[in-house]
Amino acid sequence: MSRTDEYRTLSFWHDTVPGSLEPAASLDADTEADVAIVGAGLTGLWTAYYLNQADPNLRVVLCEREIAAFGASGRNGGWCSALFPASLAKLDRMAGREQAIAMYRAMQETVDEVGKVTAAEGIDCHWAKGGTVQFARSPSQLHRAKEEVAQARLYGFGETDLRLLSAARARELGGATDLLGGVFTPHCAAIHPARLARGLAAVLRGRGVMIYERTPVHRIEPGRLVTSGGIVRARHVIRATEGYTPALPGHERAVVPVYSLVIATEPLPESAWAQIGLETRPTFNDLRHLIIYGQRTADGRLVFGGRGAPYHFGSAVQPSFDRVPAVFAALRRTLIELFDVLGDVAITHAWGGPIGIARDWCASVGLDSSTGIGWAGGYVGDGLSTTNLAGRTLADLITGADSQITRLPWVGHRSPDWEPEPLRWLGVNVGLRMMTWADHTESRTGRPSRSAAALGRFIGS
């Protein structure tokens, strides 16, 4: 199999992204730059993009172990949302009410920023800002829907940000089964993520930014990256490696890689869409504990993902972990349970990838001015748009621009390290099991399961 063919099998998105996936040139000699970035996912690409916007003369170099968009950025569920992994209440405790609100407003603006840039740069990422509908399909889910809206109201987020839906209004958006109501927010776009990330990489190359592919970085040190092809010397070096971070020396416990898995259906007939709806392509889920997420694609399929795959000892990340047949089967069952018109639908693609979870579930971005080392990550499963805010923030921190976004509460935040093994393995996997168990208990008894709250405390929120 050629390299291009290999990369095509990574996900439905890689299979359908236009252009060649043949790796570009690798680094083969020592070099110098102003900013050197490890990882050509969206964190690295957006950082390079905004640095280039700020000063086209800056020499920006990216070193990527595989190809641009190889990681989570090319394989995700395509929710370009305003979600941030730390809740408003948590950010309030961390940094105060005004800062918490500012963070959430910045995330909302970020969704539009991604839409604006992709339109301006001619990146056709199948952008559809149809919002998100969260279906409530049991009394406990309805209870959580009401709590979510009440929490948002406490911080001044009104009907235009988030609103409770009656069963009838929820059904107008999507014809899920057992509907009791739901929640709708307009702050989300459904996109084709590989088109976004590969498109951005092409824009950067067109502006002279070097993206070295098949160039693993072995060590990040102040002022330099040690790579397989040579040393890159730079005043600023940026770690943009998310779920792959624990493989870097000195960063073993910075995040845990937890796998999220996804399936794509065959294109569905009009008769099925007549029942499923989702006409404006809102992204969707229901309010169970274990995260699920779906979107109607531009070519008329459902792409549907969820967590539930095991965490691997020592924060290991391997291609074989991307595929767990039992989880794919469970996702298919859940999707058909949500939309029973799907009946015996064929699944054409199934894949997965690692997300990065910080010990306190709070994403962060920062630049250590003494070492020149910067980072961004810990987005949990909400990085598709957050990487854009991270890129803008890193560019401002590097160029010294005095901007509002550099004062947001996640800037400079340091999450604690995860526990050493075997505690980490035990804690994360027990946590994942408890979430599944809580959902089963709720659907059996119809009552909220207290184990989920216990879980939250256990793996730390």
Ligand X SMILES: Cc1cc2nc3c(=O)[nH]c(=O)nc-3n(C[C@H](O)[C@H](O)[C@H](O)COP(=O)(O)OP(=O)(O)OC[C@H]3O[C@@H](n4cnc5c(N)ncnc54)[C@H](O)[C@@H]3O)c2cc1C
Residue among 285, 397, 279 nearest 331 (CA): 285
Site for ligand X in 45-64 (CB under 6 A): 63-64
Q: What are phi and psi of 24, to 5 degrees?
A: -75, 180
Sequential DSSP letters for 143-205: HHHHHHHHHHHHTT--TTT-EEEEHHHHHHHB--TT--EEEEES-EEE--HHHHHHHHHHHHH
Residue 446 CB, nearest distance to ligand X (Å)?
29
- 307 in contact with ligand X (CB under 6 A): no
The smaller minimum CB distance to ligand X, of residues 44 and 372, is found at 44
- Residue with smaller CB distance to ligand X, 140 or 334: 334
Secondary structure class of 350 (helix, strand, coil) = strand
Q: Based on CB atoms, which residue is closest to ligand X, 41 or 182?
A: 41
Q: For ligand X, how many residues bind (rule: CB under 6 A)?
A: 45
* CB neighbour list of residue 178: distance below 8 Å, 6 or more residues apart: 137, 138
Q: Is 384 in the site for ligand X (CB under 6 A)?
A: yes
Buried b (16+ CB within 10 A) or exposed e, 136-156: bbbebbbebbeebbeebeebe
Q: Is 216 in the site for ligand X (CB under 6 A)?
A: yes
The side-by-side arrangement of strands in the sheet containing 163-166 is 163-166, 181-185, 132-136, 283-286, 292-296, 302-306, 255-265, 347-358
Stretch that binds ligand X, among 144-152, 177-185, 342-350, 380-388 (CB under 6 A): 380-388
DSSP helix/strand/coil, 345: coil
Q: Does 315 bind ligand X (CB under 6 A)?
A: no
Out of 33, 36, 42, 189, name the contact with ligand X by CB under 6 A. 42
β 79-81/60-63 pair status: unpaired
Rule CB under 6 A: choose which of 84, 127, 375, 379 binds ligand X: 379
Region binding ligand X by CB under 6 A among candidate stretches 40-48, 97-105, 229-237, 335-343: 40-48
- Phi, psi (rounded to 5 degrees) for 345: -55, 145
Q: Which of 7, 12, 13, 79 binds ligand X (CB under 6 A)?
A: 79
Q: Work out which of 240, 287, 365, 397 binds ligand X, going by CB under 6 A.
A: 240
Work out which of 92, 161, 213, 382 binds ligand X, going by CB under 6 A. 382
d(CA 328, CA 331): 5
The verdict on 213 binding ligand X (CB under 6 A) reads no
State how far the Cα of 250 lies from the Cα of 231, in Å rounded to an integer.
18
Residues 339-378 that bind ligand X (CB under 6 A): 352-355, 377
* Helices (H), ranges, 325-449: 325-338, 383-399, 423-445
Q: Are 406 and 393 in contact (CB under 8 A)?
A: yes
Compose the 264-293 pattern: x for residues touching ligand X by CB under 6 A, - for all others.
-----------------------------x
Question: Binding of ligand X at residue 65 (CB under 6 A)?
Answer: yes
Report if residue 387 touches ligand X, rule: CB under 6 A: yes
Rounded (10°) angle between helices 42-54 and 383-399: 40
- Give yes or no for residue 312 binding ligand X (CB under 6 A): no
Which C-beta is closer to ligand X: that of 82 or that of 142?
82
Q: How far is the CB of 108 from ligand X (least distance, A)?
A: 14
Q: Smallest distance from the beta carbon of 274 to ligand X, in angstroms? A: 26
- With contacts defined by CB under 6 A, name the span among 23-31, 72-80, 367-375, 441-449 that binds ligand X: 72-80
Tell me the closest approach of the beta carbon of residue 168 to ligand X, in angstroms. 27
Q: At what angle do helices 97-121 and 193-206 cross, to 10 degrees?
A: 70
CA distance 364 to 414: 7
CB of 319 to ligand X, least distance (A): 11
Contact between 324 and ligand X by CB under 6 A: the answer reads no
- CA 419 to mean position of chain CA atoms: 23
130 binds ligand X, rule: CB under 6 A: no
* Cβ atoms of residues 379 and 110 within 8 Å: no
Tokens for 185?
């927010």
Applying CB under 6 A, among 181, 257, 294, 305 the residue interacting with ligand X is: 305
Of all residues in the chain, what percent are helix, strand and coil, respectively (each to 5)? Answer: 40, 25, 35
Instruction: Answer yes or no whether residue 78 interacts with ligand X by CB under 6 A.
Output: yes
Q: Least separation, in Å, of the C-beta of 42 and ligand X? A: 4
Helices marked H in 9-87: 12-16, 42-54, 72-75
Residue nearest to ligand X (CB): 383
311 makes contact with ligand X (CB under 6 A): no
Helix, strand or coil, per DSSP, at residue 40 = coil
41: contact with ligand X by CB under 6 A: yes
Binder among 16, 31, 43, 118 for ligand X (CB under 6 A) = 43
Question: Under the rule (CB under 6 A), what is the footprint of ligand X?
Answer: 38-44, 63-66, 70-73, 75-79, 81, 216-217, 240-244, 248, 260, 262, 293, 305, 352-355, 377, 379, 381-385, 387
